[in-house]
Amino acid sequence: MDWKNFGKGVFLVNVLGIVYDPKTKKILIGKREKDKYVPQLSWCFPGGGPTYKHSLSMSLRMSIKRKTNLDVNVLDCIFARTLPENPEILLIYYFCEVVEDSEKPKAMDDLKEIKWVKPTEATKSFTTSVDPVISDFLDALEKGEI
């Protein structure tokens, strides 16, 4: 199938995890460099493109494991949007929690660095747009409303 013949409706899909550690009440963000689709991207939520063989949530779990060494439970799909910086990219955000006996996190694959931050501090490091729905979710998470 030649995807270029479609005038609309074809996107590059990325599943992203807002990875929460209930013990520390912090979320994990990762630093990327030289992203070929969004050059201005630096700090971001971990995730990646889903596979055709697995569900979106399973693809996200595998991507987070590959990039951070963490095992997570995917709890809920929070939001989906196109990225204003590149509207051909469709982002699907999931709320995830670290599995209690998960291994120690480390930056791997295309993440150069990772850090745990308070939910409302996460987006201060981002160099791409953040939708108000995500900001509101992070605010509610930090307040203990989620």
Q: What does the pLDDT read at residue 1? A: 56
CATH 3.90.79.10 assigned to domain 13-142? The reply is yes
Which pLDDT band holds residue 16 (cuts at 50, 70, 90)?
Answer: very high
pLDDT higher than threshold 80 for residue 95? yes
Which pLDDT band holds residue 43 (cuts at 50, 70, 90)?
Answer: very high
Give just the sign of the alpha carbon dihedral 63, 82, 13, 86.
negative
Q: What does the pLDDT read at residue 3? A: 63
Q: Distance between CA atoms of 146 and 138, rounded to whole angstroms?
A: 9
**Where are the domains positioned within the chain?**
13-142
Q: Two tokens at 103?
A: 């291994």
Q: Distance between CA atoms of 67 and 111, rounded to whole angstroms?
A: 6
Q: What does the pLDDT read at residue 7? A: 73
How many H helices and E strands in the chain?
2, 7
Which pLDDT band holds residue 63 (cuts at 50, 70, 90)?
Answer: very high
